[in-house]
Amino acid sequence: MKFVLAGDLGPTVGLGHRRRLEAIGEVLRSRGHHADFVAVDDESMPPGDVLVVDSYRTRADDRARYPGPLVAAIDELGRDLCVEIVIDPTPGATWHAGGHAKREFAGAGYAIVASEFAKPPRPPRPHPQRVLVTLGASSAGAVAPSLAAALADRYPELRVQTAVGPWLDTEPRPGVEFADAPDGLVEFIRDADIVITAGGVTLLESCASARPTVVVPLADNQRKAVAFLAGLGAARACSLDEVPDVLGELLADEVGRDRLGRAARATIDGAGAARVAGALIELAENGR
């Protein structure tokens, strides 16, 4: 079967849509199928058995743009899309009857991260050494280097790393290492003792890695997931100004860090991409 994975990409939306689709594509290819990522801005979609659309800027049920015979949408905006399948990977999301999609999947079980995050997480260190600061690859994440520098200055005993998107020009900051991660943050997240992130895909990756996570929601569509995870004790939510103090609390609380990591992994198990891929394969095999 051939799957075409179409997603948003660019400085205003970051890399999250692409990372989700690439995670699904990895599973599909491991199961013997063909899967290619294309940007939604491409003038025409290549042919395929199933077209998967992950886009805020376009609607998956726009048949002029997405003419595939079978269309699935990854959508956390709550839009009523007339497609074969809608997947809302937001932790805490639920579906109600009455939508035009033929099948719907929602919630933490469908949180989409790379299959690497399904592996058993690294055991926590008793004394934190590394902190990763990444607030997304979109323009909103440009504040990450300055936040990382402030944390490095306040906690000089820590190794502070930060990552920004490929569209942002950044200057080296004293005491801060820039993570060179063209293929994703898997190793940096797994090696961190505490992760400070926004409410997008990296939040889910950090939770799946059982990392104690401080989350700063930077967009309205992140607030549902952040509230859900914080309510379960799977992440600490705060504002940008509160991050240094919250980090200090976690550094001093080994039991609290362990509790956060355990709750995070229990909520996001890293197998969401496999579940989504299974639903897409079933769609391809059974048609409408």
Residues 36-84: pLDDT tens digits?
Answer: 999 988 777 888 999 999 999 999 999 989 988 899 999 999 899 999 9
Residues 135 and 87 in one domain: no
Q: Collect all residues with Cβ–Cβ distance below 8 Å to 261 and sequence separation of at least 6.
A: 121, 124, 210, 211, 212
Q: Which domain holds residue 50?
A: 2-113+271-286
Q: Is the pLDDT of residue 232 over 60?
A: yes
In a shared domain, residues 256 and 161: yes
pLDDT at 233: 98
User: pLDDT of 169-214, one tens digit each?
Assistant: 666 677 888 877 666 788 999 999 999 999 999 999 999 999 999 9
Dist CA 51 CA 148 (whole Å): 39
If asked whether residues 158 and 257 sit together in one domain, one would say yes
126 and 220 fall within a common domain: yes
Asked whether the beta carbons of 19 and 114 are under 8 A apart, the reply is yes
157 and 244, same domain (yes or no) = yes
**What is the tally of helices (H) and strands (E) in the chain?**
8, 12
Over residues 74-100, the pLDDT tens digits come to: 999 989 999 999 999 999 998 765 678
Q: How far is CA 155 from CA 159, 164, 171, in A?
A: 9, 21, 20
Residue 255 sits in a domain of what CATH number? 3.40.50.2000
Q: What is the pLDDT of residue 95?
A: 77
* pLDDT at residue 47, rounded to an integer: 85
Q: What is the pLDDT of residue 148?
A: 93
Pairwise CA distance, residues 270 & 201, whole Å: 12
User: Is the domain of 129 the same as that of 254?
Assistant: yes
First to last CA, the chain: 15
∠ CA(94), CA(97), CA(100), 5° rounding? 105
22 and 35 in one domain? yes
